[in-house]
A and B are shown apart, each in its own frame.
Chain A
């Protein structure tokens, strides 16, 4: 396993650039939500409840995109054995779990007034819950396995399993026509809501990228600390 590229310090310029990116992402999200709420008329059937779409749908997209990021870095790790790829996959998995939890809760808030229940074992809801539980399993696995290489390999396998579930989540509304509506996208929603949905999707994407980068920074710092500690122990043993 290569570990040489894990930084022991992070350059101030890079941190500053990412801080600016983070502020931009947050301000873009605020602006997107204000614009979406201001310009979208109440829906004919749902009234103002439609506005939940601007947070629920982008969160759901990130719930599917983040595990695909895990997949890319997990495969990259298995191919190259570079430790940075393992840390990036783990960072994306934590962010994916956060968005999956948010999506489920937002769905419950939307379901109560529209379907009359907080939860139902609909195919979309159930497959999203399964994805959330796989991601939680991924994080639990990393917390309990101490041996670094084994942890990276096992979590890569679980990450791939989670990503396999993503197409099932996406297609569940077409394969099993239960209560959840088909996928919301600019092609399926009323033109009055397209701009708001697009802006919020971009804003959520920027926030997700920022979250993954910041989480990776934390993981890199902790790994660097482990390297320093291991090197000190080796020096102590040698002398």
Chain B
């Protein structure tokens, strides 16, 4: 693998790491937010 190919591969790998990493973060944040809403709804029910 040439040095140039290594830099190209690194760029694409970084892009996919950021995209999939942010997607994972959003997925976890959605789960957390749903759990918080469910908990508050249960606690706040008259």
Contact = CB atoms under 8 A, between A and B. Distances in A.
Interface of A: 8, 22, 26, 29, 33, 46-49, 51-52, 55-56, 59, 98, 101-102, 105-106, 109-110, 112-113, 207, 211, 214-215, 217-218, 221-222, 224-226, 228-229, 231-232, 235
Given A211-B26, A222-B37, 13 more contacts: A8-B41, A22-B23, A49-B7, A52-B11, A106-B14, A109-B7, A113-B7, A215-B26, A218-B33, A225-B36, A228-B44, A229-B40, A229-B44
A221 B30 contact: yes
Contacts of B46: 235
B25 to A, nearest CB: 9
Interface string B1-29: 01111011011101100110011001001
Contact of A221 (B2, B22, B34): B34
A59 B15 contact: yes
A14 to B, nearest CB: 13
Contacts of B2: 48
Interface of B: 2-5, 7-8, 10-12, 14-15, 18-19, 22-23, 26, 29-30, 33-34, 36-37, 39-41, 43-44, 46
A55 B40 contact: no
A26 B26 CA distance: 15
Contacts of B10: 109
23 contacts: A33-B12, A48-B8, A51-B11, A52-B7, A52-B11, A98-B22, A113-B7, A211-B26, A214-B26, A215-B26, A215-B29, A218-B33, A221-B33, A221-B37, A222-B33, A225-B39, A225-B40, A225-B41, A228-B37, A228-B40, A228-B41, A231-B44, A232-B44
Contact of B43 (A26, A221, A232): A232
Nearest to B3: A113
Contacts of A229: 40, 43-44
A215 B29 CA distance: 8
A225 B7 contact: no
